[in-house]
């Protein structure tokens, strides 16, 4: 048995190199790849397509798309939140950290980001501690919408830094705006209590008879009225949301599903199981989305799917 185990270990080691990640998964990516800082959680592409910005556990790396080399790196003592990185077409960069800051910078032609502008500081939550900002969305009027996950609010920030808060469901995570700029759709990890409740970071959430969260919500915000006008149920841990051609897609990371919603009717159309193989055990963890340039293919990143076979 010991000899067989040693043989297997050596065979695997010959295959993996840098492709073995801490979870024990083997990665076999298509094309070129590079190693960046630990726990990458978000990506943004520059307006000219020359750079990809990667948010990881300690900051941001800027990667050249031409040759997949690192152009620059910025580390923040305050660390990174789970989600929230934007690069506008004009090169403005916004990044939420693990406290209450929205860091602001500008991407230069050489791939370096000037972080010389003071950060926006989100209002602290009523339960104490930090706001822990997550998803960010630039608005049509030039303002910014930021998910303050521990405050259960979306914070609107105008160009002068004036802020207003909109109450949403528990733990807002991702945010996207409709093409007309009139509404914002926000994924929230918890629902308001029903029959049973449990506390999460000072907020009561709905749980089942076992004490397990029953799911999340998508809150729809009228940006002119600055209030939630509709709330739709999602699966567990709704993460990134993408809106395209009148349809909103929500990656339910802890349900292994993709929620599909009609934007105009403000209702769910269907839910799609996104495990690459239905024989796989639960835990594919779909958490990020992208759409092809011709709008014909939707890509869903499954953060925990283990590859089967050789």
Cα(4)–Cα(18) distance, integer angstroms:
24
Q: Tell which wins on pLDDT, 71 or 209.
A: 71
**Model pLDDT for residues 111-148, shown as the tens digit of each residue:** 999 999 999 999 999 999 999 999 999 999 999 999 99
Q: Which helix (H) or strand (E) holds 263?
A: none
**Model pLDDT for residues 264-279, shown as the tens digit of each residue:** 999 999 999 998 777 7
Cα(272)–Cα(252) distance, integer angstroms:
10
Q: How many helices (H) and strands (E) does the chain have?
A: 1, 24
Question: What strands, in cross-sheet order, belong to the sheet with 42-45?
Answer: 42-45, 51-56, 59-64, 70-75
Least confident range of 24-33, 66-75, 243-252: 24-33
Helix, strand, coil: what percent of the chain each, to 5?
5, 50, 45
Average pLDDT, integer, range 178-195: 94
Cα 110 → chain centroid: 27
Cα(225)–Cα(114) distance, integer angstroms:
35
Q: Which fold has domain 168-310?
A: Methylamine Dehydrogenase; Chain H (2.130.10)
In DSSP terms, 300 is beta-bridged to 289
- Please give the model's pTM, rounded to 2 decimal places: 0.89
Q: Does residue 93 have a pLDDT over 90?
A: yes
Give the residue extent of every domain in the chain: 30-104+115-121, 168-310
Running DSSP on this structure, what letter comes out for residue 298?
E
Residues 57 and 99: beta-carbon distance below 8 Å: no
**Model pLDDT for residues 37-51, shown as the tens digit of each residue:** 788 899 999 999 999
């Amino acid at each position: 048995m010991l000899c067989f185990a040693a043989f297997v270990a050596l065979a695997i080691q010959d295959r993996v190199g840098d492709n073995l990640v801490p979870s024990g998964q083997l990665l076999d990516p298509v094309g070129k790849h590079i190693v960046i800082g630990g726990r990458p959680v978000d990506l943004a592409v520059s307006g000219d397509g020359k750079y990809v910005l990667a948010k990881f556990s300690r900051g941001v790396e800027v990667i050249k798309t031409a040759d997949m080399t690192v152009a620059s790196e910025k580390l923040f003592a305050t660390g990174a939140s789970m989600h929230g990185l934007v690069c506008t077409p004009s090169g403005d960069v916004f990044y939420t950290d693990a406290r209450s800051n929205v860091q602001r910078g500008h991407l230069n032609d050489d791939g370096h980001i000037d972080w010389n502008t003071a950060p926006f500081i989100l209002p602290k939550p009523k339960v104490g501690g930090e706001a822990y900002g997550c998803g960010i969305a630039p608005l049509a009027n030039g303002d910014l919408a930021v998910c303050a996950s521990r405050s259960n609010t979306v914070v609107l920030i105008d160009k002068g830094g004036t802020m207003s808060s909109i109450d949403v469901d528990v733990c807002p995570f991702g945010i996207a705006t409709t093409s007309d700029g009139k509404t914002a759709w926000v994924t929230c990890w918890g629902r308001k209590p029903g029959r049973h409740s449990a506390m999460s970071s000072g907020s009561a959430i709905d749980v089942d008879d076992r004490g397990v969260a029953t799911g999340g919500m998508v809150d729809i915000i009228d940006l002119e009225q600055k209030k939630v006008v509709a709330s739709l149920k999602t699966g567990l841990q709704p993460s990134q949301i993408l809106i395209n051609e009148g349809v909103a897609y929500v990656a339910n990371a802890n349900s292994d599903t993709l929620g599909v919603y009609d934007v105009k009717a403000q209702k769910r159309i269907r839910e799609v199981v996104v495990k690459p193989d239905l024989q796989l055990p639960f835990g594919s963890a779909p958490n990020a989305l992208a759409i092809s340039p011709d709008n014909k293919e939707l890509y869903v990143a499954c953060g925990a799917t283990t590859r089967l076979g050789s």
